[in-house]
């Protein structure tokens, strides 16, 4: 998809330098404007023509903060990058103002900016906007229907851990499909939209939950998981369906599980899109289920709106977790969410932890749960039980390299953490070869 950028800066030199850098990053078109008032007029009329706006803070007639507030007022739905030569504390304060608005902030950069910084900001936009990224090839409707008929729905579990202690706090259930006898399972990005468009999502969800709850009864008996919670995902369409709270209560009753131990994850935009969805979120909370806002940071929710939602958990999307050790904007957002989660008495989870340097940073954050490939890759039941065994051995200092030879899932995919990375209870049982991966769950 086309990516066009509008640069707003009173310095013509800065406009030209930023334009040159951006054109090196496969941007289709870059235009610039030295007058912020004119920039607002352009965006009021042609907002959909610009996917990104880059703005300075210190400008005559209209400063960058006023410009951004006007941008919010006209309902601009693209991404915004702040690029300023002002001191970092002012840039961070400006970022905080934007975070409290409905603007999608991609970055808050100190001049001179680099192409590397701009590239990270543009990658964030691609992760926020699914339509901008190439979609994987969907399976066919016949393949989906056959998988459902043959009950080839496979639950995968991914652990969440306390950033300070390494204690396992809960697991998220993820869905996979097996097509025929193929060993490679299919991820949701290849079948969820298809299931929704053919009214098969409830059937898929029921089959997933039937297996997941049965396996959870065994997982929760492990002494490391006795107090753990389980998280599942419901789509916006399902959240609109009045029967789901009672259906979930039935699952809990049939499997001797407390409703308070089950969390329903919903997307950020989903939580605020319709009154009926807000009502059903409230119904879930009345029945003592947890409700988590998933992928926070990818939508348009501001922190004031967040305070009005009856939620129990907030999950910071991976777009603000990747590179957080060197990203002032991501750190500012995390600090804001820390404050609000403490105020509301809810859990805060950082998703997509994949880099040891990010992990080092996040381990210093109070009251934070972590989830991601570096913590625990999504695993089917048997692999998860082996992982739990290895995790406990590490905690007792009993794990060694020879254990890997006896665990095919570890031997094939994982190796000892690089010696340059400090030992951590969070990653010691998830020993894999590469430090980067495509987090597509």
What pLDDT was estimated at residue 221? 95
- Model confidence over 195-220: pLDDT tens digits? 999 999 999 999 999 999 999 999 99
CB 425 within 8 A of CB 165: yes
Q: 38-52, 140-154, 417-431: which range is least confident on average?
A: 417-431
CA dist 225 and 209 (Å) reads 19
CB 427 within 8 A of CB 395: no
What pLDDT was estimated at residue 182? 85
CA dist 387 and 381 (Å) reads 10
Section 245-266 average pLDDT = 96
Q: Which band of pLDDT confidence, cut at 50, 70 and 90, is reported for residue 96?
A: confident
- Model confidence over 390-424: pLDDT tens digits? 888 776 655 554 454 454 444 444 433 333 344 55
What pLDDT was estimated at residue 297? 80
Section 96-125 average pLDDT = 88
For residue 155, the surrounding DSSP H or E stretch is: strand 153-162
Q: Is the pLDDT of residue 128 over 70?
A: yes
Decide which of 151 and 93 is more confident.
151
What pLDDT was estimated at residue 271? 58
CB 216 within 8 A of CB 230: yes
User: Is 131 strand, coil or helix?
Assistant: helix
What pLDDT was estimated at residue 398? 57
CA dist 398 and 394 (Å) reads 6
Decide which of 80 and 306 is more confident.
80
How many of the other CB atoms lie within 10 Å of CB of 181? 6
Section 335-342 average pLDDT = 91
What pLDDT was estimated at residue 430? 56
- Model confidence over 65-93: pLDDT tens digits? 999 999 999 989 899 999 999 998 888 88
Closest CA to 154 of 128, 174, 134: 174
CA dist 238 and 241 (Å) reads 5
How many of the other CB atoms lie within 10 Å of CB of 38? 13
CB 77 within 8 A of CB 30: no
CA dist 211 and 228 (Å) reads 18
User: Is 162 strand, coil or helix?
Assistant: strand
What pLDDT was estimated at residue 418? 38
Q: Which band of pLDDT confidence, cut at 50, 70 and 90, is reported for residue 130?
A: low
What pLDDT was estimated at residue 29? 95
Decide which of 367 and 414 is more confident.
367
**Residue 315: C-alpha distances to residues 227, 296, 298, 335 (Å):** 20, 6, 11, 13
CA dist 255 and 78 (Å) reads 45
Section 36-41 average pLDDT = 96
Section 169-173 average pLDDT = 98
CA dist 5 and 30 (Å) reads 5
Give the bridge partners for 6, in sequence order.
31, 53
* Global pTM value: 0.81
Q: Which band of pLDDT confidence, cut at 50, 70 and 90, is reported for residue 278?
A: confident
Average pLDDT of the chain?
Answer: 86
Q: Which band of pLDDT confidence, cut at 50, 70 and 90, is reported for residue 151?
A: very high
Q: Before 112, cis peptide (omega within 30)?
A: yes
CA dist 399 and 217 (Å) reads 26
* 64-73 vs 88-99: helix crossing angle, rounded to 10: 10
CB 386 within 8 A of CB 414: no
């Amino acid at each position: 998809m086309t990516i066009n950028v509008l640069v707003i800066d009173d310095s013509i030199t800065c406009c030209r330098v930023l334009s040159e850098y951006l054109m090196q990053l496969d941007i289709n078109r870059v235009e610039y404007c030295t007058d912020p008032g004119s920039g607002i007029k352009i965006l009021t009329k042609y907002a959909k023509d610009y996917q990104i706006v880059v703005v300075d803070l210190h400008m005559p007639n209209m400063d960058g903060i006023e410009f951004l507030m006007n941008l919010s007022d006209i309902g601009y739905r693209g991404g915004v990058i702040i690029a300023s030569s002002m001191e970092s504390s002012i840039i961070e304060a400006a970022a905080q103002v934007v975070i409290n608005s409905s603007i999608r902030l991609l970055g808050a950069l100190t001049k001179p900016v680099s192409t590397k910084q701009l590239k990270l900001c543009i990658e964030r936009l691609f992760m926020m906007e699914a339509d901008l990224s190439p979609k994987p090839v969907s399976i066919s409707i016949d393949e989906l229907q056959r998988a459902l008929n043959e009950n080839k729905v496979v639950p995968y579990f991914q652990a969440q851990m306390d950033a300070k202690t390494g204690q396992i706090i809960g697991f998220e259930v993820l869905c996979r499909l097996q097509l025929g006898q193929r060993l490679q399972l299919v991820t949701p990005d290849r079948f969820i939209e298809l299931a929704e468009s053919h009214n098969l999502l409830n059937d898929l969800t029921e089959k997933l939950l039937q297996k997941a709850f049965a396996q959870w009864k065994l997982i929760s008996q492990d002494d490391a998981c006795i107090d753990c919670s389980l998280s599942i995902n419901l789509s916006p369409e399902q959240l609109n369906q009045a029967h789901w709270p009672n259906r979930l209560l039935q699952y809990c009753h049939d499997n001797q599980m407390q409703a308070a131990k089950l969390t329903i994850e919903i997307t950020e935009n989903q939580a605020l899109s319709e009154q009926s969805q807000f009502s059903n979120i409230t119904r879930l909370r009345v029945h003592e289920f947890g409700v988590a806002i998933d992928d926070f940071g990818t939508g348009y929710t501001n922190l004031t709106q967040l305070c009005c939602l009856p939620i129990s958990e907030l999950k910071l999307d991976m777009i603000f977790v990747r590179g957080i050790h060197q990203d002032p904007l991501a750190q500012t957002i995390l600090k804001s969410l820390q404050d609000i989660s403490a105020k509301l008495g809810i859990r805060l989870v950082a998703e997509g932890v994949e880099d040891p340097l990010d992990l080092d940073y996040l381990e210093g954050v109070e009251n934070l749960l972590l989830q991601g490939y570096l913590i625990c890759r999504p695993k089917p039941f048997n692999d998860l039980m082996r992982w739990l065994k290895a995790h406990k051995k590490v905690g007792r200092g009993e794990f060694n390299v020879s254990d890997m030879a006896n665990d095919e899932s570890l031997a094939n995919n994982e190796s000892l953490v690089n010696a340059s990375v400090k030992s951590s209870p969070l990653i010691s049982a998830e020993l894999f070869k590469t430090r980067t991966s495509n987090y597509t769950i």
